[in-house]
Amino acid sequence: MNVSAQRGLLRRDKVFGFLTPAVGQQLDTTHSTLLYMENVSVSFDGFKAIDNLNFYVDKGELRCLIGANGAGKTTMMDIITGKTKPDTGSVIFGKNVDLLDLNEAEIAIAGIGRKFQKPTVFENLTVFANLELAMADFKSVWWTLHSKLNSAQVDQIEHIASTIGLLDMLNKQAGYLSHGQKQWLEIGMLLMQRPLLLLIDEPVAGMTHQEMEKTGELLQSLSGDHTIVVVEHDMEFVRSIAARVTVLNQGTVLAEGSMADIQNNDDVRRVYLGE
Ligand code: ATP
């Protein structure tokens, strides 16, 4: 019997046999852990980028993932989103979805959204149109551009624009937004897909102090309803959002806890400060 069957996990044909826009909403998340990564390893040409990693994220949590360059943060995100398949281990979403059995598109549909460091909004389109295009269903771009939105859809766009602080800018072309506003718009575009888990890579890189503060407030306000994992190098920002922190080192978890716990952790001090 394979691991999925032993654990009573849903196989991909069970998860996607009924492909609907709201597959993610049908996920069983009745218990508190939303993402499990257990004994996960992956090697590239003999080099272990992820080494027997165990990582758990609770539903509604805001988690920061930190670690030096090459610690394995991007590879870990690639594994969660299906871009890279590990050599060993299991990656479970909710109580019952085996992510290793799904491809990247299916993982996105299951409710995992990823935002890369560089904002990738459609610069020639308005904020409204960017949010509209990101709406959670399986319409084609052509259909979206040629059909009329119903009032619930307009409400959803306005609600998200308000959440990301861009309600007054709905008719502005995205190319004219500041760097910080583009980052918030892209977070809004992710939210349009109603993800259960958001993976956000270095959201505050290149932001002004004020934009950084607003981003912290935004992520804190989204947690609870959403589960968020933020990869971030800016320690001041990590401290300011007071999230639980996981320190990755050589592809495995070195320490986990509050920022204060991390700063006082002997292993962290040894690795980072050479103490
Ligand atoms: P950074 O903060 O610089 O983005 P990171 O913590 O995200 O670093 P990864 O990009 O996950 O680290 O890389 C972990 C290690 O795996 C690095 O040594 C990297 O060179 C190696 N690596 C990652 N992807 C590949 C690949 N496709 N082929 C070979 N080596 C890889």
- Number of separate domains in the chain: 1
Nearest CA to ligand 1 atom 25: 44
**Would 246 be classed as within a structural domain?**
no
Q: Is the pLDDT of residue 3 over 50?
A: no
Residue 140: give the domain boundaries. 121-192
| Separation of CA 107 and ligand 1 centre (Å) | 22
**Would 128 be classed as within a structural domain?**
yes
| Separation of CA 122 and ligand 1 centre (Å) | 28
pTM for the model: 0.86
Nearest CA to ligand 1 atom 27: 44
| Separation of CA 72 and ligand 1 centre (Å) | 6
pLDDT digits (tens, 9 = 90+) for 195-211: 999 999 999 999 999 99
- 3-state SS track over the chain: CCHHHHHCCECHHHHHCCCCCCHHHHCCCCCCEEEEEEEEEEEECCEEEEEEEEEEEECCCEEEEECCCCCCHHHHHHHHCCCCCCCEEEEEECCCEEHHHCCHHHHHHHCEEEECCCCCCCCCCEHHHHHHHCCCCCCCHHHHHHCCCCHHHHHHHHHHHHHCCCHHHCCCEHHHCCHHHHHHHHHHHHHHCCCCEEEEECCCCCCCHHHHHHHHHHHHHHECCEEEEEECCCHHHHHHHCCEEEEEECCEEEEEECHHHHHCCHHHHHHHHCC
**Would 229 be classed as within a structural domain?**
no
**Would 26 be classed as within a structural domain?**
no
| Separation of CA 70 and ligand 1 centre (Å) | 5
Q: Which of 13-17, 144-148, 176-180, 255-259 has the lowest mean pLDDT?
A: 13-17
Ligand 1 probe mutation, 41, 44, 200, 249, most atoms within 8 A of CB: 44
More confident call, 141 vs 19: 141
| Separation of CA 66 and ligand 1 centre (Å) | 14
**Would 79 be classed as within a structural domain?**
no
Q: Is the pLDDT of residue 103 over 80?
A: yes
**Would 78 be classed as within a structural domain?**
no
pLDDT digits (tens, 9 = 90+) for 157-181: 999 999 999 999 999 999 999 999 9
Residues with Cβ within 6 A of ligand 1? 44-45, 49, 67, 69-75
* Shortest-distance atom of ligand 1 to CA 75: 11
**Would 57 be classed as within a structural domain?**
no
**Would 204 be classed as within a structural domain?**
no
